[in-house]
Structure 1
Amino acid sequence: MLESNYTMPTEFIFVGFTDYQPFRVTLFLVFLIVYTLTAVGNIGLIILVNMNSSLQTPMYYLLSNLSFLDVSYSTAITPQMLVNFFASRKSISFYSFVLQMFFFACFPDAECLILAAMAYDRYAAICKPLLYCTLMSRRVCNCFIVLAYLGGTMTSMVHVCFTFRLPFCGSNIVNHFFCDI
């Protein structure tokens, strides 16, 4: 591809959902309530699993990490979206755009890998009950978690790096409410 004269944008502008004020207030309240319930429920589950000694099993350990990823995924997008409901200029800086896109890709990928580890946990518990303690030791669970986070990070880096190698010519207006590839 030939190099041409173009300028990287310094910010992106979100179109969002609507400009009609009553809808914006309603949508803001709905998304705020859903986000609050999501955060409180998942953080409550994490605290419960860590405080209750009877829940210190591989299944609940993986479940608490899944809850952490749910809170992180929600927090990557929702606060900026809530601010943009009432902002006069719905913009995001270039680096914030890159970071939001990275987290938007990283957390779901890691979540899928943790769900796969949870499926393996249930397989080991049902099909190999005598070997379960060996197959799902604390060390194995920690390896699953580390590999899930590394896998999510690596796939997200690939998406973001390849996306931002492309030239940005034309409009910097994003017809959405968050940063997506």
Structure 2
Amino acid sequence: MTMEKINASFENYFVLLGFSNWPHFEIVLFVVILMFYVTTLIGNLFIIILSHLDSHLHTPMYFFLSNLSFLDLCYTTSAIPQLLVNLWGPEKTISYAGCMIQLYFFLALGTTECVLLVVMSYDRYVAVCRPLHYTVLMNPRFCYLLAVASWVSGFTNSALHFPFTFWVPLCGHRQVDHFFCEVPALLRLSCVDTHTNELTLLVTSSTFVLIPLILILISYGAITRAVLRMQSTTGLQKVFGTCGAHLTVVSLFYIPIMCIYLQPPSGNSQDQGKFIALFYTVVTPSLNPLIYTLRNKDVKVAVKRLMGCD
């Protein structure tokens, strides 16, 4: 009876192995990840607050950038606090319900970011290629609809997809060879053939990764043509400043995601997958605010106004 209770209790938890193969490396990782996480919180909150307080930043570009900052805050928080707890202490468990919630939000927020980056590229396309119609095309109501559509598509995709992962029968052990509950890592625990699940993951990933990426590239192809026809040096610098920042963010997000999700889970090196995932969950969200603000004159002027230096 006691053994049954132990087994029943064990079935309610997963063990996140994370980086336990390198126990002496964990404390270094803890410090580095904590620094990146704090940077993510401060940087993204700064963009959200500044965009809200300064009326000059009440434009579609900064509205979508605020959405991206809030999204990055949620995205990194869905995995990093649990990782920090596991790195600091000997126990590396997460409850079954906690694992489900983490997987659902991680999928939802990741998908939302894919769609939101397309929306941001469309905003830049209209600003550069159709400047005279910009205020009409990117009116506040349409911007809100685009933002809502991004969030709804992400959470809907996750709601349809993540149950397939948890319906798969698992083997006796619950040791997830990852630092958070991710689909490929969970599928490796299955005792049955998971080719159908892998195909489903590949199809949905292709839909929400490749199609948005193609649309982004099409937008920037049109922007490049428009930029080459420009005569003003100031205009060129401004376009390269805003569009270059967005393209950098797109690259930092899409390249790691494609390395993980556009191949079968069985085709990934587990250790390699962990470090790639660490990059797009920890490093990318912390760099986004820096990329958008370091060389952004509008933000610098807004900060001066906020501090009363203008």
Q: Return the TM-score normalized by structure 2.
A: 0.54
Moved more, 94-103 or 166-175: 166-175
Deviations 1:139-159, CA, capped at 9 Å, x for gaps = 011001110110000111122
Q: Is the 1:77–1:100 Cα contact (8 Å) retained in structure 2? A: yes
**Over the residues paired in the alignment, what is the CA RMSD in angstroms?**
1.5
CA shift digits 1:108-148 (9 cap, x unpaired):
11111111111111111122222211110110110011101
The Cα offsets for residues 44-94 of structure 1, whole Å up to 9 and x where unpaired, read as: 110010011100000000001001111111100000000001222210000
Return closer, same or farther for 1:128/1:20 CA change in 2, 3 Å cut-off.
closer
- Write the distance in 2 (CA, Å) between the matches of 1:137 and 1:77: 35
Answer yes or no: is 1:173 the counterpart of 2:175: yes
* Residue matched to 2:108: 106
Q: Equivalent residue for 2:32?
A: 30
Query: For the Cα contact (< 8 Å) 1:46–1:67, is it kept in 2?
Result: yes
Q: Kindly report which structure 2 residues correspond to 1:22-171, keeping only aligned pairs within 5 A, or say none.
A: 22-171=24-173
Distance 2:55 2:83 in 1: 38
**AA at the equivalent of 2:77:** T
The CA distance in 2 between the partners of 1:19 and 1:95, in whole Å, is 26
Cα distance, 1:26 vs. partner? 1.2
> Aligned AA for 1:116?
V
Deviation of 1:30 after TM superposition, in Å, equals 0.4
Q: Percent identity?
A: 42
> Which runs of 5 or more residues in structure 1 are unaligned?
1-6
Q: Distance between the aligned counterparts of 2:166 and 2:21, measured in 1?
A: 30
The alpha-carbon deviation at position 19 of structure 1 amounts to 5.7
CA drift at 1:104: 1.1
Q: Distance in 2 between matches of 1:55 and 1:154?
A: 31
Give the TM-score taking structure 1 as reference length. 0.91
The structure whose Rg is larger is: 2
Greater relative contact order, per chain length (Cα 8 Å cut-off, separation 6+): 1
